Structure 1
Amino acid sequence: MASGKVRLGIVSFAHFHQHHWVKVFLQDNRVEVVGAWDNDPHRLEKAAIQYGLQKYSSLPSLLEQCTAVAVCSETSEHLPILQLCCQAQVSVLCEKPLAPNLSLGREIAHLVQESGIRFYQSFPQRHIPSNYRIRQMIQSGALGRVTHVRKRHGHGYGLTGLENQMPWIVDPLWAGGGAFLDEGVHETDLIHWFFGEPISVCASFSFGKPYPVETSGSAIYTFPDELLCTLETGWNWVAGGPTTEIYGEHGVLIQSHTDCASNAGGGLVPHLVWFDGKSGKWSTLEESFDFSSIHTHAPKDFIDGIWEDRPPKTSIREGLKALELIEGVYRSVETHRTVYFPLFPEDMEKQA
């Protein structure tokens, strides 16, 4: 149990999710928001006025006053920021993805593990109740042998000025990649959580706008027991339908309404439905999830974890594994070949 308030610093408003997070922190009486720092003075000034935050001209000066921070910087800035956070021994809530590539992600993981800080990797999909129901049904054997999975995650912001809202996110030097890294990493975390280690992946991208990064992509992961999992992501979807389809020999699970595309227009659809092969009937397992609250759960759970002194729901391990599954996709696109996991030989030796 924490003693006294969590003294929290806001580190960058580069990613828009910080706007959701800071509102949660300001409303939590267990938290004292010390102030904010950003590498963009104009962005810092605007946010400081909007939320009544004290501005810090340097990150070290902010960290000196904090016991925890929320990091929503450009992805390429995660490493230098986290180096300072590890030195300052503060707890960290970090926006996804962990890093612009797996090599830098491994460097961050080493820093975090060596320092022993509390590191919470933000994966909002882990806070959707039906994802726990799905995992439980897979593990219980209710679906029988799972033969095919389709995961989809995307939005339409690439059609409505994403490059103006977050210019850095369409720049590979700042972001590391495009839609597949930004959106796909949500789902590679869940795919690994549901099914474990894949054997291989093959993938293809498309470039729907004059960005130097992809705006959509598709990948097929192969798992043991001949399970195939198709992952589709995009920034150019006006709307969407089912976000998860899991086909087993005993039944089928269909999950909807768990990304921005499927929530376009505020349409309400069943959140999780089940086809029982034995009865031959469909049933609703859970009603619609309030997706508008999706980005409020990680900051609350971060503070809960500090207050209760419990491990993060998603740690550096989950952040790195999700990034590895994404890196396999980019290597496949670059080489026009199937890519095999693990991506580093020493990881294979550890598993042996």
Structure 2
Amino acid sequence: MKEIKTIQRLFLLLILCISYAGGTAAQQPVRLAIAGITHGHSDWIYNRKLKGDIEIVGIYETNADRIREFRERYRLPAALFYTDLKQMLDQVKPAGVMAFGPVNEHIEVVRAAAPRRMHVMVEKPLATSYKDALEIAALAKQHGIKVLTNFETSWYASNQYVRNCYKEGKLGRLRKVLVNDGHEGPWAMNRHFVSWLTDPVKNGGGALTDFGCYGANLMTWLMDGQRPVSVTAVTHQNRPDRYPKVEDEATIILQYPETQCVIQASWSWTFSRKDMEVYGAKGYAIAVDRTKVRTRLDATLPETTETLEPRPEPFEDPFAVFAGVIKGTLKQEVNDLYELPVNVTVVEILDAARRAAKSGTTIYLKSR
């Protein structure tokens, strides 16, 4: 009898040890590296609240001035920085890599990370060309990694609410979507960021790329990944003195079999705004800002305005989202705003919009 009790105690102790070890492993921070810090959003990584969920183990950057600024601002050791991306990845062996450099360098980050089985998160958009986007998707599939694209509007409770209204049938058949994204322009942002944000090669364009991608992302998500039949676009340089190489104003029209989407992207508005209006056969829902929505779902009732609670953790923190995806604790829909299928289509739309604006014609997308 004593032997049985002893075995039971040992078995219980073993279970407790395994549980503790598993819990400890789950609490270990995800090791992340940064590829490029010239993007204006790269400071988020050190300005976010300390949660212990991630650990920055290496920073790749070749811009000496930006390295100096970053080191001084955040009191970082020189040993954390590398000027060779592959060398950094091989030495620090991160679980994931976050790209905060020019958009046309996203492909190089994925080419380096994918064979090493390291997941990647890039700042929007995914790539500067549809060709690069397709290669990124192929590399991710071949090596079994995740490649996420971060959009600020992914964090908005209002956008989720509007989509839910549509998916629940409250709006009826989708008819028209208007997406407005713009601000006063990147003129006053940090010089390192502006130097490539206003470069047609490094950024893939101006306002069309920088802000047109938001509408393409939201619309493709609303449509569950469906591609438009055609893309029409008009661009213009309202401020050629500031932006001599790229457009600062763009309007993109996406036509689907039964739905039209108008995307207005600008670097020449008075104030910053990011909003979306969705009109259906039965009603409409408008995401005014991050948490405010206006809806009218019944012809006999007036419009209502509601302020929502922010999205719960981890959805307002892209780094926490990335860490959750890497750990496997966060599962996302195939056509989530962050995921590859939607963002490959986003780049296809932007590519078509650039061609449409240049040629003055409507571009009809070929079937894949």
User: What's 2:56 paired with?
Assistant: 33
The corresponding residue for 1:279 is 300
**Count of equivalent residues:** 329
2:219 matched to which residue of 1?
A: 191
Once residues 295 and 163 of structure 1 are traced to their aligned partners in structure 2, the CA distance between those partners, rounded to angstroms, is 30
Q: Does the 8 Å contact 1:17/1:295 carry over to 2?
A: no
Q: Which letter maps to 2:350?
A: I
Larger Rg computed on CA atoms: 2
1:32 deviates by: 2.0
Contact 1:48 1:55 (C-alpha < 8 Å) held by counterparts: no
Query: Among residues 176, 182, 185, which one is paired with 2:210 in the alignment?
Result: 182
| Cα shift at 1:287 | 4.2
Question: What pairs up with 1:158-169 in 2 under 5 angstroms?
Answer: 158=186, 160=188, 165-169=193-197
Instruction: Go from structure 1 to structure 2 and tell me whether the alpha carbon gap of 1:13 and 1:159 turns closer, same or farther (over 3 Å shift).
Output: closer
Percentage of pairs with the same residue:
23
User: Is the deviation greater in 106-115 or in 293-302?
Assistant: 293-302
1:321 aligns with 2:345: yes
Superimposed CA distance per residue, residues 64-111 of structure 1 (whole angstroms, 9 cap, x where no aligned partner): 212222111111111122211112221211111111111121122211
Match of 2:184 in 1: 156
Deviations 1:264-299 (A, max 9, x none): xxxxxx710111333331112334869xx9996211
Structure 2 residues not aligned, in runs of 5+: 1-21
Is the 1:147–1:247 Cα contact (8 Å) retained in structure 2?
A: yes
Unaligned runs of 5+ in 1: 259-269, 348-352
Compared CA separation, residues 295 and 305, structure 1 to 2 (3 A): closer
1:245 is aligned to 277
Shift of 1:221: 1.3
Distance 1:288 1:159, change over 3 A: farther
- Secondary structure at the residue paired with 1:284? strand
**Which residues of 2 match residues 1-352 of structure 1 at below 5 A?**
4-24=28-48, 27-53=50-76, 54-64=80-90, 65=92, 66-158=94-186, 160=188, 165-195=193-223, 196-210=226-240, 211-225=244-258, 227-239=259-271, 243-258=275-290, 271-287=292-308, 297-311=317-331, 313=336, 314-342=338-366, 345=367, 347=368
Q: Which amino acid aligns with 2:87?
A: S
Distance 1:39 1:119, change over 3 A: same
| Contact kept? 2:155, 2:316, Cα under 8 Å | no
Counterparts in 2 of 1:272 and 1:32: CA distance versus 1, 3 Å: same
Answer whether contact 1:96 1:185 (CA < 8 A) is retained.
yes
DSSP 3-state at the match of 1:231: strand
Give the direction of change, closer, same or farther, for the CA distance of 1:240–1:93 in structure 2 (3 Å limit): closer
Q: 1:254 to 1:321 in 2, by over 3 A?
A: same
Counterpart contact for 2:227–2:345, Cα < 8 Å: no
Shift of 1:60: 1.9
Partner of 1:265: none
State how far apart, in whole Å, the 1-side matches of 2:68 and 2:272 are: 36
Residue 154 of structure 1: how far off its partner (Å): 0.8
Aligned counterpart, 2:11:
none
Inter-partner Cα distance in structure 1 for 2:97 and 2:266: 30
Q: 44-53 or 95-104: which moved more?
A: 44-53
State the distance in 1 between where 2:54 and 2:192 align.
32
> Aligned partners of 2:192, 2:64: CA distance in 1, in Å?
17
Letter in 2 for 1:63: L
Shift of 1:145: 2.7
TM-score (norm 2): 0.82
SS in 2 for 1:224: coil
TM-score, structure 1 as length reference: 0.85
What amino acid is the match of 1:157?
Answer: G
For 2:214 and 2:126, the matched residues in 1 are separated by 11
Q: In 2, Cα distance between the equivalents of 1:162 and 1:148?
A: 37
- Where has structure 1 moved over 6 Å in runs of 4 or more? none
The residue number in structure 1 matching 2:9 is none
* CA shift in 2, pair 1:326/1:143, >3 Å: same
Deviation at 1:205, TM superposition (A): 0.3
